[in-house]
Chain A
Amino acid sequence: EAQVTQNPRYLITVTGKKLTVTCSQNMNHEYMSWYRQDPGLGLRQIYYSMNVEVTDKGDVPEGYKVSRKEKRNFPLILESPSPNQTSLYFCASSRQGEGTQYFGPGTRLLVL
């Protein structure tokens, strides 16, 4: 089944404790992206990747890191989480030029 998977689905952590949210897709898509969703703000792009070893900042990159060492994986790293990073996070992927993005199920993060 074609899908985007994220882990974990739910995470509670404390300020400053490094964490990684994994994202994997099995559709051989070139483009991958991370979004955060906050009430009243819609989805805002954090980082994106056009292909392996090619990443770039989105609209709200501060406090986040990403890497793209393999085509299928695009982990999101919070080196020192803060409470303002409490949010719902989505990973998405698409075939280059197609436009349609396919979303993972989301990761709900609470930073205390």
Chain B
Amino acid sequence: AQSVTQLGSHVSVSEGALVLLRCNYSSSVPPYLFWYVQYPNQGLQLLLKYTTGATLVKGINGFEAEFKKSETSFHLTKPSAHMSDAAEYFCAVSDRRDDKIIFGKGTRLHILP
């Protein structure tokens, strides 16, 4: 069975500092991996996804994530945080055999001025 673990339900960083949101997954087959962002009072929108090929994936708004098979991780990073990055971030995994996605419990990112 697939699962996703996001370390830290809340993360605070200063504006301009590095953002690092951690995600570990388990999957018995090569997975699809996703990061979604949810701004206040909005639905989820896709930040980036990994399917095959290059393990460093670039997404919108300057975010990127690296698929590390040996560590079963897919951490999300951004070099310099902006106030507009304050939101909840969800890591998700799909096993490719069907369209079901399993979501982590989310990490709320707070940006300190």
Contacts and interface: CB of A to CB of B under 8 A. Distances in A.
Q: Sort A-B residue pairs by CB-CB distance and give the 8 closest, nearest first.
A: A42-B105, A103-B43, A31-B99, A99-B32, A43-B103, A103-B44, A105-B43, A42-B103
Given A31-B99, A90-B43, A100 B34 contact: yes
Main SS of the interface on chain B? Answer: loop
Interface of B: 9, 32, 34, 36, 41-46, 49, 51, 90, 94, 96, 98-101, 103-106
Contacts of B41: 106
A45 interface: yes
Interface of A: 4, 30-31, 33, 35, 40-43, 45, 48, 50, 90, 92, 94, 96-106
A103 B98 CA distance: 18
